[in-house]
Amino acid sequence: MRPSIELLHAALALLLAIAGPIAGQTPPAAPAVPAQAPTQDPRQRARPADAAALFRMFAATTGLEARFEEEKHLALLALPLQSKGRLYFFRPDRTQPGYLARIVESPEPSSVLITPTELRLQNRDGTEVVDLKRSDKVRNFISSLVRVFAGDEQALAKSYTIQFAQAEKDATGWTLTLVPLAKPLDQMLKSLTLTGEGEAVVRIEVQEPNGDRTVTRIVAADPARKFDAAEQKRLFGIDAK
Amino acid sequence: MTRGEIPRIAAGLLTLLVLSVWWTADPHVTTDITHFLPHGERDSAIDLARKIATGPLSRTMILLVDATDESEAVAVSRAYENLLRADARVATRVESIDAGPPAGIEEALWSVYEARRFGFLAESAEAATERLSPAGLTAAVARLSQRLATPMSGLLSRIAPADPFLVMPSLFDRVAGQNAGDLGVVDDRFVATSQPAAAVVFVTTKASASDSTEQRPLLDGVREAFAKLQQSHGKHLRLHESGVNRHAIAAEDSMQADVGRVGIGSTVGFLVVFLFLFGSLWPPLLCMPVLATGFFAGAVACQLAFGAVHGLTLAFGASLVGVSIDYAEHYFSHQSLAPHPDGPRQTMSHLWRGLLLSAGTTVVGFVTLLLATFPGLRELAVFATAGIAAALFSSWAILPGCSRRIHATRWSRATVSVMRRALNVRGRARLWLLLPICGAIVVTALGLPRASWDDRLSTLNRVDLRLKAEDDAVHARVSRFEQQRIVVATGADEEAALTANDRVAAALAEAQRNGEIAGYGSITPLLPSAGRQRAVDAAVRGETTLWPRLRETLTAAGFVADAFAPFAEALAKPAPPPVVAHDLLATPLASLVRPFRLEVPEGAMLLSFVRGLRDEPALGKRLADVPGVLLLDIQGAMTNAIAAYRASMTTLLAFGLVAVVLLVIARHRAVRPVVISCLPALLGAAATVAVLALAGVALNLLSLVALLMVVSMGVDFGIFLAEEESQPGAHDVTYLSVSLAAVTNVLGFGLLALSDQPALFCIGLTSGVGILMCLVLALAIGALARPGRPCAAPEPPVS
């Protein structure tokens, strides 16, 4: 199989939620953001009845902050890569997929930011910006995951089969599995599985065709997070109007 | 008409028939302006500018269709491309229509470069050696580890076993970063993402942008296709165009309109004057076969000599041949007012030596242009030479046999009488005749030192500001590379040019780091020289300890070293041939390479484009150290070349003038007739330059062409007057004939001064002022140089 430049960049965004740290420079936004303790426990709420209900729940979210811990199991590595950090999602405009920022705090600070127009990687070596306008394949692929958080079931259904199942032994548990329908997504991803309790996503697992997998555990989440203008600028690069 | 004239008339008409059939049966007319672009030595600035000006860049149009949003822009893009391809006027004239990245480009990148990736590890063998050092390996493995920890791991984990240095991802990144504007891709279509969203289509034509014969129907097809698009997708769509061909067509239309207006004006004036002087339209009708013979003779001669005739040559040549109407006017004037008693043929015989000398001096003046390096001027010389000679023959053959109906009118007699009284003065009154001569000398002395030259190409062609504004707006949305400053690398062959271009890329990278430029586009990321690729590849494969050291470094960093066995296997293989242009041109990657590469007979030219040029002197100095490389200022190169041409043409004109004077001397071998023949033209031309200088009008190449016509006509006036010096009655009639010639020539050329086109304005102003100057001086000098005896007018036949 011959990977392509677009797949290269597309992988970036798809695996954003489960990506490990980009070792490097402390991103300017991350340290300044005060850690807000989640004020609600969505795991205690009733679980969604089906995929549509789950996506409606996601769609109602305009802001999200979550702490995560992640393990990457790669065939090339003798031991899994481990990382910890915070995930931020913000959707100011329902006509757009939204903004997704992943800030790694350990082992080395780094960040990944997805906006409607670009993908921005920052580490100790500097900043790399991928213009999403240059390739619609890259843009569509990268926006896939953002669309998950945005609850855009219609858009996701064009590229994935969507399987939802409620846990049999757990009254609050559920899983949502996305399987790519065709190329080029199926070259990058075997499956993306979200595991949840109640209204909370507690685990995200990505399976790759070559056997590699990444497991991200959501430690805590605030799905009703509000971002003021300063935070919008620091985290997502959104200028105040 | 006498019986003896029939064979001569038949010969004249037969000549006209043969030439006209010959020309009209298979005319080869070109409108390609490169015919009139300066040439230069190979790889000189002007040579490079000319090749770029005629290369794919100048032949590429950008079409933008504004849409409501991106999804509509995509739909419009597909529909418009289909409409363009379906239109035969477009499809048969384009080299390519690009509305999106070519299909299969990613696969092509992989198939061409994957096996050759070692040659792209670094920008030099030394840099490769450094990357493969212990510190380099540690850094590379650390970087790999960092990248695998990112969302990119899914792809990298498949590439890394054979490419732990991530050469291929770096190459893909560099290719993706080449575009400088807001050109995005949506659903495999080019879309301008700046508001409003717009479909973007690049159309590269086969013909030169200035070849109006090809470009005009193509543009019609482009616009009609858009009209159909509006019918199917909505009238709200808006088309914006950018392309050199639009300017060429607009300039040609403007010139044709001006020439048409002048043509109508001069024809009406011509008819009025002839009616006034001869009371009949028969004389102007008789002029038609004379002018037609001259025109077709010039066209046929050019086609035989050069294979084709340029449209501009036809236009200028026709005007030059129009000078031959002076011969007919001279003959008509004498036949009506001072006819030979033995008939029209004898009138012609009497005038023949003057006519022959007049035509001869004109031909001699233009023959010197055959030495010009400007191909258009050589064509002009051939046209004028053949045309003048043929027109003279036609005048001799046809006019006498058809002139018995030409008579004087009271107006023509009255005009001759007035002129005789004014010019044939005696005593101290003759001093008034010195006035125009002294005036011309004073004006020349004052103005000639102030003469200035403006050799910019813009003085020859007015830029349509509306079209330019549209060009700028389109480029701002699609491409922000500099249009007039390009870095050119040349070489005896492709490899030599690529080697120079490698150094250009390094220099531009350094210039970018130093802030001299904001960015640049180069072919080097995709196509470095074969020598560099081999050297870098050899540095990698030749490092025998590379795999053991890399294995150790990988293990130390927590990798499963055995997983990278594909890299070790690749190291052991022999090096494949380096990437060459042909490998890319035969694939979808051709579209990435074409803008940077010009194929030329003498080798290759590689172009690099800069963006945001902030410090041109610093960049020029940086590139000056690289052999075979030039920071090309296209406009500046054209200006310098035109200045050089103008200087050499001035020399040729001087030789022409000397030849004319020598010819007149050979004819008369006496001072007085030589002075009468030549002085009005020489002094008139000098005074014309002086007048223009005093008026603040800068001269250019076309001014010289117009001065050549002025001298040619001025010498005709003088020759006619000198030939009739010994014939009092005939001499007075010659006052009328030269005045008539001046009036019709001003109507034919001088009215061009009313044009908005700088080229036509220049020719019109120079020739208008010059012809009048020559007329006044010819009359004054002709009258002054005669012995001071008043003469009675001859008795003309009653009309």
* B359 HSE (CA, 13 A, CB side): 25
- How far is it between the farthest Cα atoms of chain A? 49
pLDDT band at A13 (very low <50, low <70, confident <90, very high): very low
Q: What angle do CA A225, A230, A231 make, to 5 degrees?
A: 35
* Among B64, B469, B60, B465, CA closest to B238: B64
CA distance B432 to B423: 9
Q: Is B793 helix (H, G, I), strand (E, B) or coil?
A: coil
Q: What is the C-alpha R_g of chain B?
A: 35
CA distance A215 to A17: 10
pLDDT band at B799 (very low <50, low <70, confident <90, very high): very low
pLDDT band at B788 (very low <50, low <70, confident <90, very high): low
What's the pTM?
Answer: 0.73
Which residues of chain B neighbour A16 with C-beta distances below 8 Å? 151
Whether B341 contacts chain A with CB within 8 A? no
Is 90 exceeded by the pLDDT of residue B172? Answer: no
Q: Residue B299: in which H helix or E strand, if any? A: helix B282-306
From A125-129, A155-159, B255-259, the region with the lowest mean pLDDT = B255-259
Tokens linked to B344: 């029209």
In total, the C-beta contacts within 8 angstroms joining chain A to chain B are: 138
Mean pLDDT computed over B172-179: 66
Q: B786: which residues sit within 8 A by CB, 6+ positions away?
A: B424, B725, B731
Cα distances (angstroms) measured from residue B170 to each of B107, B574, B672: 16, 23, 85
CB contact under 8 A, A4 and B111: no
DSSP B23-72: HHHS--EE--GGGGSPP-STTSHHHHHHHHHTSTTTTEEEEEEE-SSHHH
Is 90 exceeded by the pLDDT of residue A136? Answer: no
- Amino acid code (one letter) for A74: L
Tokens linked to B127: 């840099």
How close are the terminal C-alpha atoms of chain A, in Å? 46
CA distance B547 to A34: 47
Helices (H) and strands (E) in chain A, counts: 6, 11
CB contact under 8 A, B148 and A72: yes
Is 90 exceeded by the pLDDT of residue B572? Answer: yes
Whether A129 contacts chain B with CB within 8 A? no
Most B-contacting residue of A76, A103, A104 (CB-CB within 10 A), to test interface? A76
**Which residue is it, tokens 């990736």?**
B117
Whether A112 contacts chain B with CB within 8 A? yes
pLDDT band at B178 (very low <50, low <70, confident <90, very high): low
- Amino acid code (one letter) for B509: A
CA A105: distance to chain centroid?
16
Handedness of CA B132, B137, B139, B140 (dihedral sign): positive
Whether A24 contacts chain B with CB within 8 A? yes
Chain A: closest CA distance from residue B606 (Å): 25
In terms of phi and psi (left: phi > 0; alpha: psi -120 to 50; beta: otherwise), the region of A98 is left
Tokens linked to B684: 């008139």
Mean pLDDT computed over A119-147: 76
- How far is it between the farthest Cα atoms of chain B? 122
Q: Which residue of A has its CA nearest to B157?
A: A76
Chain A: closest CA distance from residue B113 (Å): 11
CA distance B770 to B749: 11
Mean pLDDT computed over B401-419: 87
Report yes or no: A13 and A142 within 8 Å, Cβ to Cβ: yes
Interface of B with A in 180-219 (CB under 8 A): 182-188, 191, 193
pLDDT digits over A207-230, tens only?
988 889 999 999 988 888 999 999
Which residues of chain A neighbour B148 with C-beta distances below 8 Å? 20, 72, 74, 76-77, 81
Strand partners for A67: A86, A220
Tokens linked to B234: 């909505």
Mean pLDDT computed over B275-295: 88
Q: What is the pLDDT of residue A12?
A: 36
Q: Is A105 helix (H, G, I), strand (E, B) or coil?
A: strand
CA distance B413 to B407: 10
Strand partners for A224: A63
pLDDT digits over B709-751, tens only?
888 889 999 999 888 755 656 778 999 999 999 998 888 787 7
CA distance B144 to B352: 94
> Residue A92, preceding bond cis, omega within 30 degrees?
no
Q: Which of A84-98, B478-492, B523-537, B593-607 has the highest mean pLDDT?
A: B523-537
Chain B: closest CA distance from residue A183 (Å): 13
Q: What is the pLDDT of residue A9?
A: 35
* Among B501, B481, B517, B483, CA closest to B617: B517
* Among A52, A113, A108, CA closest to A84: A108
Which residues of chain B neighbour A125 with C-beta distances below 8 Å? 143, 146
Most A-contacting residue of B105, B106, B150, B195 (CB-CB within 10 A), to test interface? B150
Q: What is the pLDDT of residue B798?
A: 44
Which residues of chain B neighbour A5 with C-beta distances below 8 Å? 106, 109, 169, 172-173, 175-176
* Among B166, B155, B156, CA closest to B117: B166
Q: B135: which residues sit within 8 A by CB, 6+ positions away?
A: none
State the alpha helices, DSSP H only, in B307-409. 311-322, 325-337, 344-367, 375-398
Report yes or no: A141 and A14 within 8 Å, Cβ to Cβ: yes
Give phi and psi for A178, each to the nearest 5.
-110, 130
Chain A: closest CA distance from residue B563 (Å): 6
Mean pLDDT computed over B445-458: 87
Whether B103 contacts chain A with CB within 8 A? no
Q: Please give the ipTM for the structure prediction.
A: 0.77
Whether B154 contacts chain A with CB within 8 A? yes
**B93 vs B247, residue with greater confidence:** B93
Q: Residue A63: in which H helix or E strand, if any? A: strand A63-73
* Among A217, A190, A187, A183, CA closest to A206: A190
From B63-77, B252-266, B495-509, B590-604, the region with the lowest mean pLDDT = B252-266
**Which residue is it, tokens 């420079």?**
A25
The interaxial angle of helices B671-694 and B701-723, nearest 10 deg, is 150
Most A-contacting residue of B114, B155, B551, B589 (CB-CB within 10 A), to test interface? B155
Q: What is the pLDDT of residue A135?
A: 67
Report yes or no: A110 and A102 within 8 Å, Cβ to Cβ: no
pLDDT digits over A156-213, tens only?
888 899 999 998 888 889 999 999 998 777 877 889 899 999 888 899 998 988 889 9
> Residue A107, preceding bond cis, omega within 30 degrees?
yes
CA distance B99 to B77: 7
Mean pLDDT computed over B203-212: 87
Mean pLDDT computed over B246-264: 79
pLDDT digits over B698-714, tens only?
888 888 888 888 888 89
Provide the mean pLDDT of chain B.
86
Out of B110, B149, B558, whose CB is closest to A2? B110
* Among A187, A154, A178, CA closest to A3: A187
pLDDT band at B266 (very low <50, low <70, confident <90, very high): confident
Out of A75, A79, A208, whose CB is closest to B563? A75
Most B-contacting residue of A7, A82, A119, A133 (CB-CB within 10 A), to test interface? A133
Which residues of chain B neighbour A18 with C-beta distances below 8 Å? 151
Which residues of chain B neighbour A206 with C-beta distances below 8 Å? 154
- Sheet bearing A200-207, strands edge to edge: A126-131, A118-123, A110-114, A99-106, A81-90, A63-73, A213-222, A200-207, A191-197, A173-180, A160-166
CB contact under 8 A, B155 and A2: no
Chain A: closest CA distance from residue B50 (Å): 33
Mean pLDDT computed over B37-46: 63
CB contact under 8 A, B149 and A22: yes
Give phi and psi for B180, each to the nearest 5.
-105, -10
**A140 vs B214, residue with greater confidence:** B214
Q: Residue A221: in which H helix or E strand, if any? A: strand A213-222
Mean pLDDT computed over B585-601: 84
Which residues of chain B neighbour A21 with C-beta distances below 8 Å? 149
CA distance B150 to A130: 14
Mean pLDDT computed over B86-91: 95
CB contact under 8 A, B106 and A4: yes
Whether B107 contacts chain A with CB within 8 A? yes
Q: What is the pLDDT of residue B725?
A: 58
Interface of A with B in 207-226 (CB under 8 A): 208, 210, 212, 214
pLDDT digits over B643-675, tens only?
877 888 888 888 888 988 999 999 989 888 999
Which residues of chain A neighbour B149 with C-beta distances below 8 Å? 19-23, 72, 81, 83
Buried-state track B783-795, b at ≥16 Cβ within 10 A, e below 16: bbbbeeeeeeeee
